């Protein structure tokens, strides 16, 4: 390796400046077949299949709710996921999902490095798809390199145009599928096709078409190299026992030609298996050389493993010169020690523990979720009102939420204080001293509740009040707690 001279930046130097930008080195990934390529195809088919098809799956929720299995209904502030319906105040489920996603990412990373980057990340999946289209139209690596080096003929133009057209179609379809998660999919498809969709829908599609086309078609590995924070965080989170796509230099070095290796091997000399054929570099979608070790640019997709296995098979050497391995094992093999694999480490336990705790809490919340809730907020200003007859009145904003898909009637009671007069502004009807509140399907209703009581100046602490609603249909109770305050108990 030629060692460049270390230069320091000197603003007063007369020497010509460095270029203002670094030109991108075009990468022409070569096609490859093998185990990891097959895994990537399957994951690509499954993830994209889910993404494009999911909005069209139906789920019956009765007459008062949408029948789309996965729907984020922004205007009505509801999110639906099969049997789950989330209200805006339950956005902590989203927090939970984000924690789970982060922890799952960390766990994957602790077990086998950048699994997310290599197989699951949308950037990787869509880039893979775009590269497949490119290969189909423009041919493989060598063909594309030759064409790009040659003159720009009509035929070249036609091929490029075809490729970009297909890219834009896929990108447009990607954006189109995205908006379907936010409205009834079949209806929206018809609206979009007849140019009757909302401006928001068209703008969203346009933006996502643009980003998909740019990111997956034009920028590709530059997103991973420059835009994505995860490679940086990943490098800080990993440890020596995490499996990584590794060039086993203990076996590969010294690199030499097949012929030279055969001669040396016959003579009993130490020989490396790497024949420096550069196949691992040729297939790499980000253009890195895996033999330099794990780098920022290496998304660990395993395609170099497939490429190298192919070569090793051809030269009749054992496969997996590049494999999921650790540097620890390389060092151990060099010292004549057996391999060790430690999937059970403090960090994997910790991540798994956090995942199960957060997941458990979410499931518990979901299972015990009350279909009707009552929230009580005491008037903050004034805290109490003195009436003309000297009695004290406290006012509360009470919100009753009916999360069920049919209308419900609730009987309403305020408990905790004898001889308290309870008035509700806007209550439906009262019978035999009981107050009844109707709340429509999947709706909330706010009421102003007034509690009036004699002024007892000797009272030293606020009195706890319990606002109880009982669902007249199934007898389910929900209780909200607040306090009755008097001049004596306000400080």
Partner 1 sequence: MEQKTSAPADTSAPVQTGVGTTGHIWDGIEELNNPLPRWWLWTFYACIIWAVGYWFFYPAIPLVSSYTKGLLGWQSRTQIELDMAELKAMRSGMTTKIEATELADIEKSPELLSFARAQGSAAFAVNCAPCHGAGAQGFKGYPNLNDDDWIWGGKAEDILTTIKHGVRWEQDSDSRSGVMPSFGRDGILNRKEIGTVADYVLSLSGLPVDKGSDLAAGKALYAANCAACHGDTGKGNQELGAPNLSDKVWLYGSDKAAVMERITIGGGGVMPAWSNRLDAATMKSLAVYVHTLGGGK
List residues near partner 1 by CB under 8 A: 1, 3-4, 6-10, 18-24, 219, 222, 226, 247, 249-250, 253-255, 291-293, 379-382, 385-390, 393, 395, 423, 425-426, 445-446, 448, 450
CB of 183 to partner 1, least distance (A): 20
Closer of 44 and 325 to partner 1 (Cβ): 325
- Two tokens, residue 120: 């699951």
Q: Which is nearer to partner 1, 1 or 346 (CB)?
A: 1
Phi first, then psi, for residue 319 (nearest 5°) are -75, -175
Assess contact for 297 and 286: CB atoms under 8 A. yes
Cβ–Cβ under 8 Å, residues 117 and 230: yes
**Two tokens at 462?**
């606020």
Shortest Å, Cβ 386 to partner 1: 6
Nearest Cα neighbor of 248 from 342, 323, 341 is 323
Q: Establish how many alpha carbons lie within 13 A of residue 58's alpha carbon, considering only the half-sphere containing its beta carbon.
A: 5
Closest distance to partner 1 from the beta carbon of 80 (Å): 25
User: Shortest gap between Cβ of 393 and partner 1 (angstroms)?
Assistant: 6
Pick between residue 239 and residue 428 the one whose CB is nearest to partner 1: 428
Q: Based on CB atoms, which residue is closest to partner 1, 37 or 220?
A: 220
Name the residue nearer to partner 1 (CB basis): 73 or 423.
Answer: 423
By C-beta, is 434 or 446 nearer to partner 1? 446
- Minimum distance between the CB of residue 360 and partner 1, rounded to whole angstroms? 39
Provide the minimum distance between the beta carbon of 290 and partner 1 in the complex, in angstroms, as a whole number.
11
d(CA 394, CA 332): 76
Task: State the Cα–Cα distance between residues 112 and 325, nearest whole angstrom.
Answer: 9
My answer on whether omega of the bond before 254 falls inside 30° of 0, hence cis, is yes
In whole angstroms, how close is the CB of 278 to partner 1 at the nearest point? Answer: 12
Q: How far apart are CA 331 and CA 338, in angstroms?
A: 10
C-alpha to C-alpha distance for 306 and 319, rounded to whole angstroms: 9
> How far apart, in Å, are the Cα atoms of 393 and each of 286, 454, 460?
71, 9, 17
Chain-centroid distance, C-alpha 6? 42
For partner 1, give the closer residue by CB, 140 or 423: 423
């Amino acid at each position: 390796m030629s060692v460049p001279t270390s230069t320091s930046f000197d603003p007063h130097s007369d020497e010509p400046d460095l270029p203002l930008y670094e030109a991108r080195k075009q990468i022409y990934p070569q096609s490859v077949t093998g185990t990891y390529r097959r895994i990537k195809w399957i994951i690509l088919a499954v993830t994209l299949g889910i993404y494009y098809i999911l909005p069209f799956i139906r789920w019956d929720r009765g007459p008062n709710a949408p029948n789309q299995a996965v729907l984020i209904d922004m205007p009505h502030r509801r999110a639906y996921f099969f049997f789950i319906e989330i209200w805006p105040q339950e956005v902590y489920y989203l927090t939970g999902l984000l924690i789970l996603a982060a922890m799952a990412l960390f766990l994957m990373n602790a077990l086998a490095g950048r699994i997310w980057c290599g197989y699951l990340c949308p950037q990787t999946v869509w880039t893979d798809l775009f590269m497949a289209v490119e290969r189909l139209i423009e041919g493989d690596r060598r063909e594309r390199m030759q064409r790009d080096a040659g003159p720009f003929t009509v035929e070249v133009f036609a091929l490029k145009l075809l490729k970009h057209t297909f890219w834009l179609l896929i990108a447009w379809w990607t954006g189109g599928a995205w908006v379907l998660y936010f409205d009834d999919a079949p209806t929206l498809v018809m609206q979009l096709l007849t140019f009757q969709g909302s401006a928001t829908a068209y703008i969203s599609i346009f933006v996502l078409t643009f980003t998909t086309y740019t990111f997956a078609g034009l920028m590709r590995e530059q997103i991973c190299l420059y835009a994505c924070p995860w490679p940086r965080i990943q490098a800080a989170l990993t440890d020596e026992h995490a499996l990584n796509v590794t060039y086993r230099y203990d076996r590969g070095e010294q690199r030499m030609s097949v012929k030279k290796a055969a001669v040396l091997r016959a003579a009993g000399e130490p020989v490396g298996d790497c024949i420096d054929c550069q196949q691992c570099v040729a297939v790499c979608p980000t253009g890195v050389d895996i033999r330099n070790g794990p780098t920022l640019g290496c998304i660990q997709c395993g395609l170099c493993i497939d490429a190298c296995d192919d070569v090793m098979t051809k030269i009749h050497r054992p496969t997996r010169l590049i494999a999921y391995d650790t540097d620890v094992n390389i060092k151990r093999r060099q010292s004549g020690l057996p391999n060790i694999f430690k999937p059970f480490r403090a960090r994997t336990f910790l991540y798994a523990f956090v995942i199960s705790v957060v997941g458990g809490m979410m499931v518990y919340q979901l299972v015990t979720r009350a279909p009707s809730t009552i929230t009580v907020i005491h008037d903050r200003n004034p805290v109490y009102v003195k009436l003309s007859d000297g009695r004290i009145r406290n006012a509360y904003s009470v919100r009753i939420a009916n999360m069920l898909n049919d209308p419900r009637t609730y009987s309403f009671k305020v408990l905790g204080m004898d001889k308290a007069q309870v008035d509700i502004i806007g209550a439906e009807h009262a019978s035999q001293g009981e107050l009844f509140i109707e709340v429509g399907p999947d709706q909330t209703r706010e009421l102003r509740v007034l509690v009036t009581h004699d002024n007892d100046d000797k009272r030293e602490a606020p009195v706890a009040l319990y606002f109880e609603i009982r669902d007249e249909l199934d007898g389910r109770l929900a209780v909200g707690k607040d306090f009755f305050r008097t001049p004596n108990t306000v400080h």
